[in-house]
Amino acid sequence: MMRIASLLPSASEIVCDIGLKDNLVAISHECNYPKSLKKLSVITHSSIDSNQDQREIDTEVRKKVQSKLPLYEINTQLLNKLKPDVIITQGLCDVCAISSSEIEVVLKGTLCTLPSSTQIISLNGKSFKEICSEILKLGEQLDAEKEAKQHVDKAIARRDKLDSLPKYSRKILSLEWIDPYFSAGHWVPEQIEIAGFRSAIGQKGEHSRVISIEEIIKSDPDDIAVICCGYKLHENKSFAEKLKNNKEINFLRPFKRNNIYSFDSDAYFSRPTTRLIEGAQQLRNAVLG
């Protein structure tokens, strides 16, 4: 049986979605869905203390990136012991998870003695279409073509149904971080469009970036979605409360009308999986009441 090591949450989720959960032998420290993954060996850990506030995390990440220090580390001893046939990683964001370049360095180094036949698969989808294409490709590579196609077909049908609903001119400002402020990136603006609205800052496929108070004010949003990357619902609710106390922006329309919404971004906005459609549905439900 093919042995799979997943170094990012979305990959673990997708592997389970296409019926290969039993093939997983190792996961990353951030893989938490489905819950049954808890039984598997964890082979990565972060060098960043996630208990810090957002400003401290941002500062530490920037320092490590500038110094070319790793944000994540791999337990190479355990990886050698588990001997996976396939390692799934990503090349989309060095901050979000271990990248394909990092794992290649580890494999070529003296710390890891996996056979040359070990396959490295990198997932890099930045849009719903690209994510679906990669799921289909992963299905081909892992001998689960039928299951992958069925999963993608269901997701596309859900997307099409949601996308066919009435559209609105309301502008949604999605914040992927609040200290400093980061705009929505990659697939999030597309989620906003699928939900029936317009993205106030950020277009489909663009990278998330730092935005200024002036940009936020100029964007004149009707609603604000707090989807800080990797955080759960209760955490984003806390971030939303902090926003309400910021006098630099709390005079804007969303604050006056109580049009500020929080979501479980870890599950429905941060990960490139088909659950992005559920996130779009939640956004539409929240905005339209």
Cis peptide, bond prior to residue 272, ω within 30 of zero: no
Domain membership of residue 11 as a residue range: 4-124
Kindly indicate the confidence band of residue 212, based on its pLDDT and cuts at 50, 70 and 90. very high
Q: CATH number, domain at 9? A: 3.40.50.1980
* Across 116-143, average pLDDT: 92
Among residues 242, 246, 288, 284, the alpha carbon closest in space to that of 263 is found at 284
Q: Could you tell me if 202 and 225 are in contact, meaning their C-beta atoms sit under 8 angstroms apart?
A: no
**167 and 278 fall within a common domain:** yes
281 C-beta neighbours (distance < 10 Å), count: 19
Q: Which residues is 42 bridged to in the sheet?
A: 27
In-domain check, residue 14: yes
**106 and 169 fall within a common domain:** no
pLDDT tens digits for 18-67?
Answer: 999 999 999 999 999 999 999 999 998 887 777 888 888 878 878 877 77
* Across 135-140, average pLDDT: 97
pLDDT tens digits for 237-256?
Answer: 999 999 999 999 999 999 99
Indicate if the pLDDT at residue 108 is higher than 90: no
Q: What is the pLDDT of residue 199?
A: 97
In-domain check, residue 45: yes
Count of domains observed in the chain? 2
Residue 25 buriedness (CB in 10 A; 0-12 / 13-18 / 19+): buried
Question: Last residue of a domain, which of 124, 148, 181?
Answer: 124
**97 and 48 fall within a common domain:** yes
Pick the range with the lowest mean pLDDT from 25-34, 52-61, 136-145, 182-191.
52-61
